[in-house]
Chain A
Amino acid sequence: MRTYLYDGTFESFLTALSLALERDEDCAIAREAGAEAGLFSEFVNAGNDPARAAAMRDFFEELGSAESWHHARCAFLSEASGAEDALLAYARLIKEKGRGADDMLADDRVKRVHGLSASVGGEAHMFKGFVRFKELADKTLYARIEPDHNILPLLTGHFKGRLGEFNWVIHDARRGRAALHFKGRLVYAPLTPAGAPEFDGKEDRVQALWRHFFKTAAIKERTNPKLQRQNVPLKYRKNLTEFGG
């Protein structure tokens, strides 16, 4: 069986997907770093071909619909194991059925990709609330996040819309990447902090006020830690100011 290897970027993945779709026999897609050589498998580096990647976008949007493209992109951002092959199966189905494919909600191929897309969309929405900025000495707002999925590209538009006049950084510490918003321009870059940042003098006091507010807002007679855990999973709390982050 042939396995197409991609370099981790979406563009390279789309290149691999396009190559795999052209072959009729069984093939697979895997990330370079994670793939292990098997006795009967043949590895082919897909490379990174912008023209093929763009054609794949057209494939999803025109043969499927804007919705298909949205689900494909979000499912890729899930970084879930097996997402690549799930996307290949989904793309094959779109090739066969066209835009009717997304109606097949009980079909496992559609359900899997829609499901991955929904969990990525869900986490991105949660983080519109969970991002916590801290003001640095130079007035830049800095937030550290560690989401399960690679949701950074889905968050930046939201924060550009509301904090457009500030300089800010959202740092995905789990992936060592950051979105940097400076003077109205947005860039993505690898980021590994060199040391503890220096905060604005007022920062501690604002955080203390917020923690006080948060504590006070709970109604004692309705205490329900299970419901709280359901809504704010423990794994997210270390970067939330009100939980000591």
Chain B
Amino acid sequence: MLDTMDLQRKLEILADSAKYDASCASSGSNRAGRGTGAAHQSGVCHSWTADGRCVSLLKILMTNECVYDCAYCVNRRSNDTPKAILTPDEIAGLAFEFYKRNYIEGLFLSSGIVVSPDRTMELMLEAVRKLRENYHFNGYVHMKVIPGADQRLIDQAGLWADRVSVNIELPSDKSLRLLAPGKTKDTVLRPMNRLAQQIAAHKDERRTIKSSPAYAPAGQSTQLIIGATPETDREIIKLSEALYGKMALRRVYYSAFIPVMKDNRLPALREPPLLREHRLYQADWLLRFYGFTADELLDAAHPQLDLSFDPKTVWALNNLDKFPLEVNKASYEQLLRVPGMGVTSAKRIVRARRAGALKLDDLKKLGVVMKRAVYFVTAGGRYGGIKKETEAAIKIKLLEHKNPNGQLDLFGQGELVREGLEATVTGQL
């Protein structure tokens, strides 16, 4: 199967078409067993491409042909680019050869719609089944579910894959109807809902019958395109909150819109809104790991995330009455809300103060970013910030650290940036 130049060309076309999908995580599953391969609970990144994004999976489309004509999508029917299709054997063989050389953690398989959603889903399932059964492959598999495919086929995806996903892409029904004729909120949410039910049901069953099969052990994810349509950050974050809550999604990915082709329904952006994407990821992290709700971060009067400050700092500045916090007494949940503290440093504080009272000098050693936290904490009653802390005064102080090279480096050393940006760019967690 590797003997033709043809395969190289096909791989190029189908990797090129798949690369706009932001998901690359290989985490959340610990599949193992006889045969080759295993999944790693926390995921493993194998390399990073020139855009700084991690490569963890062989991310390809089965085909870039498509019967749909979605304006934002590079694979739209009316886009006059070379088309290619890989057979199930080619996909399984390629994934296996890459895997055994440790290039990848596994396979990410998506596809345009060829013939019909059912036929597409059948071929994709066949590729993954071959990989699992013929190659005895226990590595990670992420499978896209094709909206509109028969429920029986959708149900099978979770039996073969570690993670399953349906991309919402456009954050509102109105935008979907405008840019993705043939798709509605319902066609996207229906399979998502079905997968959520299947995942929950199998989990329940495995509690009592250990031998029953795992169903998408790494759960379900989705992706939203940012900046192609007029939705506010508030609408987007509220949607994510609902997806995490009601659909038990593991991850929502945000993908800054890149105008890959011209269309008068799309905005003419000069550059993808990367900083906005970054702020959304930070807000998303605050929902999932820091105990914040969407309403605490954004309200009707402030529907957009501040581009100059990370969302936790903005929240803290708006809630100065809750600060400064005494680090020797504050609960873990309270510590998580201090700018400059992350999950790791908050846990370290809780642990280290068991051994003795903490002083301000100790905090830096525990990994707290003091240039931001200093305005919001005391240690043993001592405060290291400015005398009369007001929102405006702290803002000015914080901005003094602004990097002249650009806004993305505003808090370049910050823990939230490290935890947020790197982890999201790498797709881990």
**Interface residue ranges, A against B (CB under 8 Å):** 100, 103-107, 111, 125, 128-135, 141, 143, 158-159, 161-166, 202, 205-206, 208-210, 212-228, 230-232, 240-242
Q: Quote the shortest CB–CB distance from B56 to chain A (angstroms).
A: 8
Bound Cα distance from A11 to B111, whole angstroms: 55
Are A209 and B102 closer than 8 Å at their CB atoms? no
Are A129 and B53 closer than 8 Å at their CB atoms? no
A133-B102 contact, Cβ under 8 Å, with A106-B358, A222-B51, A228-B48 = yes
Taking the complex as formed, is B150 at the interface, i.e. its CB lies under 8 A from any CB of chain A? Answer: no
8 further A-B pairs in the complex, CB-CB below 8 A; given A129-B44, A214-B55: A130-B46, A159-B102, A162-B138, A206-B2, A206-B98, A210-B101, A219-B51, A223-B51
Which residues of chain B come closer than 8 Å to A106, judged between CB atoms?
A: 352, 358, 362, 365-366
9 CB-based A-B contacts, threshold 8 Å: A100-B355, A104-B355, A105-B365, A129-B102, A158-B40, A209-B8, A209-B97, A231-B52, A231-B54
Which residues of chain B come closer than 8 Å to A125, judged between CB atoms?
A: 44
Which residues of chain A come closer than 8 Å to B362, judged between CB atoms?
A: 106
A132-B103 contact, Cβ under 8 Å, with A216-B16, A231-B54, A242-B47 = yes
Which residues of chain A come closer than 8 Å to B53, judged between CB atoms?
A: 217-219, 222
Taking the complex as formed, is B38 at the interface, i.e. its CB lies under 8 A from any CB of chain A? Answer: yes
Bound Cα distance from A163 to B11, whole angstroms: 25
In the complex, which of the residues A107, A128, A143, A202 contacts B40, with contact meaning CB atoms closer than 8 Å?
A128
Are A219 and B11 closer than 8 Å at their CB atoms? no
Taking the complex as formed, is B348 at the interface, i.e. its CB lies under 8 A from any CB of chain A? Answer: yes
Interface bin, chain B: 35 or more
Nearest A residue to B99, CB-CB: A162
Which residues of chain B come closer than 8 Å to A209, judged between CB atoms?
A: 2, 7-8, 11, 94, 97-98
Bound Cα distance from A30 to B44, whole angstroms: 36
Closest 5 CB pairs of A and B: A227-B52, A106-B362, A218-B49, A222-B51, A224-B52
Bound Cα distance from A193 to B422, whole angstroms: 38
Which of B29-37, B215-223, B240-248 makes up part of the contact surface?
Answer: B29-37
Taking the complex as formed, is B272 at the interface, i.e. its CB lies under 8 A from any CB of chain A? Answer: yes
Q: Quote the shortest CB–CB distance from A94 to chain B (angstroms).
A: 13
Bound Cα distance from A104 to B54, whole angstroms: 35
Are B97 and A217 closer than 8 Å at their CB atoms? no
Are A218 and B12 closer than 8 Å at their CB atoms? no
Bound Cα distance from A130 to B8, whole angstroms: 23
Nearest A residue to B45, CB-CB: A129
Are A219 and B19 closer than 8 Å at their CB atoms? yes
Q: Quote the shortest CB–CB distance from A227 to chain B (angstroms).
A: 3
